Amino acid sequence: MTSRRYFATILLVICLALTTWLNFTPNVWALGGKLPELYQTAPEFTLPTNIEDGEISLSDYRGKWVVLYFYPKDFTSGCTIEAHRFQEDLPQYISRNTQILGVSADDIKSHTEFCDSEGLKFPLLADTDGTVSKAYGSWLRFLSLRHTFIIDPDGILQKIFLGVKPLIHSKEVLVSLDELQQS
């Protein structure tokens, strides 16, 4: 066995031992903190939004699938790409009875300008103090991390995406949504 392979094997064994010793699974913790548990009720929230009613609660979407995506900042390159991909695929989400909700620490004014500038037709929610981002393990000091959650029509968390790649993420979410809706 080469020294590189030996080192990799030892590292894997140590990681598995630590995981067992700490009694948690790798999906439970993310860079932003403790993630909500899969197959449990998703954390409820109410946040201000850039759309007409002014506030959105997760419970407003009972009976629909929800793609709840957290992102760092309006108008940044990765966030703009990710938002554009969700917007391009919006008709496919609508046909799957799915609502997209974007969340960041930006305020309503920024979200409104971002949506107007980029032609976004789905709600962006202002989590300015990070309360909701923290509840979803997606908060790092002063901004939301790039995480996505699929929540079923009964409000149960069905899928978590960490390490999101903005260019392909919407397509990945659609594939997962199809798998979840067929099961």
Q: What is the enclosing helix (H) or strand (E) of 111?
A: helix 108-118
What average pLDDT does the segment 110-139 reach?
Answer: 96
Whether residues 5 and 71 share a domain: the answer is: no
Among 70, 59, 71, 69, smallest CA distance to 90 is for 69
Residue 103 near residue 144 (C-beta atoms within 8 A): yes
Residue 68 belongs to a domain with what CATH number? 3.40.30.10
Catalytic residues: 79
Domain containing 64: what range?
31-182
In percent, how much of the chain has pLDDT > 90? 76
The total of structural domains in the chain comes to 2
Task: Please give the model's pTM, rounded to 2 decimal places.
Answer: 0.83
What average pLDDT does the segment 38-61 reach?
Answer: 94
Whether residues 95 and 37 share a domain: the answer is: yes
Query: What percent of the chain is helix, strand and coil (3-state, nearest 5)?
Result: 40, 25, 35
